[in-house]
Structure 1
Amino acid sequence: MNILHLDSSPLGGHSVTRELTAAIVAQLRRDNPGSRTVRRDLAADPLPHWAPAADAATPAARTGGEVLDEFLAADVVVIGAPMYNFSVPSQLKAWIDRIVIAGSTFRYTATGPEGLAGGRRVIVASARGGFYGAGTPGAAADFQEPYLRQVFAMIGIGDVQFVRAEGVGISAEQKAASLAAAHAAIDTRQAVAA
């Protein structure tokens, strides 16, 4: 199994999503001995924002090809995606702009886009300062999860799982409880089962 491990939080050791992605990848590796993992830290080594390159030999163009190759080689993609301003960090958006490519991961048809990158799983570790899940007063402000689901559906990936730690900004007790629940989902393989 090839695992692509992406982190986008700039919080380093204080990041909830980094803690969760590390646990998810560790569980996947325990369940699949011999797995190969490629890790990309989108905060420590940010990608430049996408722009059409006149010269395919530019560093940005070469990086884009490498990012796409890493993605296409993965069987499972584990993404750390904290909620920033109701959506995803710009570092993660810059990565997404390099994998959602007409002719490579989707194509336009007369009936709409057709995904070409199916056959892989995506597991998203999500952290949110407040509560934005279904049935909460903040649910209408959740542009993070619907956006990520739509992006991956566009390229043919319907198997997108979320491990959530919500309310981590409310109090230390709430953060601890949310992390414990997220780790329990990982440990019992609810979040990583194939």
Structure 2
Amino acid sequence: MKLLHIDSSILGGYSVSRQLSAQVVAQLHAGRDDIEVVYRDVAADPIPHLSGGYLAALQSAEADRTPELQAEIVQSAAVLDEFIAADVVVIGAGLYNFGIPSQLKAWIDRIMVAGKTFKYVDGAPVGLVPGKRIILTVARGGFYTGESPIVSFEHTETYLKTAFAFIGLNAEAIVAEGIAVGPEQRAAAIEAAEAQIAALTA
């Protein structure tokens, strides 16, 4: 089984999403020697954001492919191949200004590729990469569930679930929220998320 582990937090060792994503990988790996893990840190080694030059190069063999653009095309293909090859994808993501880190958006843009991961049939999207398991570990500083007045402001978990649903995949989410409220809430949120992780099976 191939497992792709993606981290996107810019907080390094202080990141809750990184802490939880690592625990998910360890939980799935426990007692098994048939899991091959590929790790990509899109914060430490960012993928370029999409550009007009890149899109033009994909659509026309006549486009001017500078060495930099050619390197980007090769990198983009490698990112897509990693995703397609994976049986399980574990993604650590924080909520930054109500959405996903821009570095993670750049990765999403490289895997949402018409003809590779989705196509349209009678105007409706159809996923081309079925059977993958997607596990999200999401960290949020405030509260975005229940009776919170800012429930509709949450666009990390909801965006990622929407993106993966578009290509035919259901994403599971393990969420620690309220981690910026105070030390006690942070600890309680992490403990609750860790209990969910402990119940995961490969």
TM-score by length of 2: 0.90
Name the counterpart of 1:105.
117
Opposite residue 39 of structure 1, the aligned amino acid is: Y
Measure the CA separation in 2 of the matches of 1:141 and 1:34. Answer: 40
Deviations 1:77-105 (A, max 9, x none): 00001001111000000000000000000
Measure the CA separation in 2 of the matches of 1:42 and 1:31. Answer: 28
- The match for 1:193 among 186, 189, 201 is 201
Name the counterpart of 1:70.
82
Deviation at 1:118, TM superposition (A): 1.4
Equivalent residue runs for 1:1-194 within 5 Å: 1-51=1-51, 52=55, 53=57, 54=63, 55=65, 58-158=70-170, 160-187=171-198, 189=199, 192-193=200-201
Deviations 1:166-190 (A, max 9, x none): 0000001110110111111111x2x
Measure the CA separation in 2 of the matches of 1:126 and 1:183. Answer: 12
The more displaced of 54-63 and 109-118 is: 54-63
List gaps (5 residues or longer) in structure 2.
58-62
Q: Which secondary structure state, in structure 2, belongs to the residue aligned with residue 107 of structure 1?
A: strand
Q: Which secondary structure state, in structure 2, belongs to the residue aligned with residue 37 of structure 1?
A: strand
Q: Which secondary structure state, in structure 1, belongs to the residue aligned with residue 201 of structure 2?
A: coil
Q: Which secondary structure state, in structure 2, belongs to the residue aligned with residue 183 of structure 1?
A: helix
Q: How many residues align?
A: 190
Q: Which secondary structure state, in structure 2, belongs to the residue aligned with residue 58 of structure 1?
A: helix
The more displaced of 85-94 and 31-40 is: 31-40
Deviation at 1:134, TM superposition (A): 4.0
Q: Is the 8 A contact 2:27 2:201 kept in 1?
A: no
Deviations 1:134-154 (A, max 9, x none): 442221111222211110011
Deviation at 1:31, TM superposition (A): 5.0
Measure the CA separation in 2 of the matches of 1:47 and 1:61. Answer: 11
Measure the CA separation in 2 of the matches of 1:125 and 1:137. Answer: 23
Measure the CA separation in 2 of the matches of 1:140 and 1:19. Answer: 26
TM-score by length of 1: 0.93
Q: Which secondary structure state, in structure 1, belongs to the residue aligned with residue 160 of structure 2?
A: helix
Measure the CA separation in 2 of the matches of 1:50 and 1:113. Answer: 22
Q: Which secondary structure state, in structure 2, belongs to the residue aligned with residue 186 of structure 1?
A: helix
Name the counterpart of 2:60.
none
